[in-house]
Structure 1
Amino acid sequence: MSTRIDVNDLDIFYGAFHAVQGVNMVIEPKSVTAFIGPSGCGKSTFLRTLNRMHEVIPGGRVQGEVLIDGKNLYGPGVDPVNVRREVGMVFQRPNPFPTMSIKENVLAGVKLNSKRISSAAADDLVERSLRGANLWTEVKDRLDKPGSGLSGGQQQRLCIARAIAVQPEVILMDEPCSALDPISTLAIEDLINELKSDYTVVIVTHNMQQAARVSDRTGFFNLEATGKPGRLVEMDETSKIFNNPAQQATEDYISGRFG
Structure 2
Amino acid sequence: MSKRIEVNNLDVYYDKFKAVEDVSMIIEPRSVTAFIGPSGCGKSTFLRTLNRMHEVIPKAWVDGEVLLDGNNLYGPGVDPVLVRSQVGMVFQRPNPFPTMSIRENVLAGITLKNKRISKSEADGIVEKSLRGANLWEEVKDRLDLPGSGLSGGQQQRLCIARAIAVQPDVLLMDEPCSALDPISTLAIEDLIDELKQDYTIVIVTHNMQQAGRVSDKTAFFNIAGTGKPGKLIEYDATKTIFENPSEQATEDYVSGRFG
TM category, shorter: over 0.9
The 5 Å alignment of 1:36-75 reads: 36-75=36-75
Aligned mates of 2:130, 2:2 — CA distance in 1: 24
Aligned mates of 1:2, 1:155 — CA distance in 2: 24
Aligned pair count? 259
1:13 aligned counterpart, secondary structure: strand
What's the counterpart of residue 142 of structure 1? 142
What's the counterpart of residue 249 of structure 1? 249
**1:2: how far off?**
5.3
Aligned mates of 1:131, 1:188 — CA distance in 2: 13
Aligned mates of 2:87, 2:222 — CA distance in 1: 25
Q: Do the aligned residues in 2 keep the contact of 1:2 with 1:69 (CA within 8 Å)?
A: no
Is 1:7 the counterpart of 2:10? The answer is: no
Q: Do the aligned residues in 1 keep the contact of 2:233 with 2:247 (CA within 8 Å)?
A: yes
1:177 aligned counterpart, secondary structure: coil
What's the counterpart of residue 28 of structure 2? 28
**Structure 1, unaligned runs of 5 or more:** none
Is 1:113 the counterpart of 2:113? The answer is: yes
What's the counterpart of residue 202 of structure 2? 202
**Structure 2, unaligned runs of 5 or more:** none
Q: Do the aligned residues in 2 keep the contact of 1:88 with 1:164 (CA within 8 Å)?
A: yes
What is the letter of the counterpart of residue 157 of structure 1?
R
1:19 aligned counterpart, secondary structure: strand
Q: Do the aligned residues in 1 keep the contact of 2:177 with 2:188 (CA within 8 Å)?
A: yes
What is the letter of the counterpart of residue 199 of structure 1?
Y
What's the counterpart of residue 189 of structure 1? 189
For normalisation by structure 2, the TM-score amounts to: 0.99
The 5 Å alignment of 1:229-248 reads: 229-248=229-248
**1:79: how far off?**
0.3
Deviations along 1:193-235, one digit per CA (max 9) or x if unpaired, are 0000000000000001000000000000000001100000010
Q: What is the identity percentage for the equivalent residue pairs of Structure 1 and Structure 2?
A: 78
Deviation above 3 Å: which 4+ runs of structure 1? none
**1:59: how far off?**
1.1
The 5 Å alignment of 1:97-108 reads: 97-108=97-108
What is the letter of the counterpart of residue 46 of structure 2?
F
Aligned mates of 2:41, 2:86 — CA distance in 1: 26
1:162 aligned counterpart, secondary structure: helix
Aligned mates of 1:81, 1:174 — CA distance in 2: 19
Aligned mates of 1:114, 1:222 — CA distance in 2: 42
**1:114: how far off?**
1.1
Aligned mates of 1:115, 1:245 — CA distance in 2: 48
What's the counterpart of residue 92 of structure 1? 92
Aligned mates of 1:218, 1:113 — CA distance in 2: 34
For normalisation by structure 1, the TM-score amounts to: 0.99
Q: Do the aligned residues in 1 keep the contact of 2:2 with 2:199 (CA within 8 Å)?
A: no
What is the letter of the counterpart of residue 237 of structure 1?
A
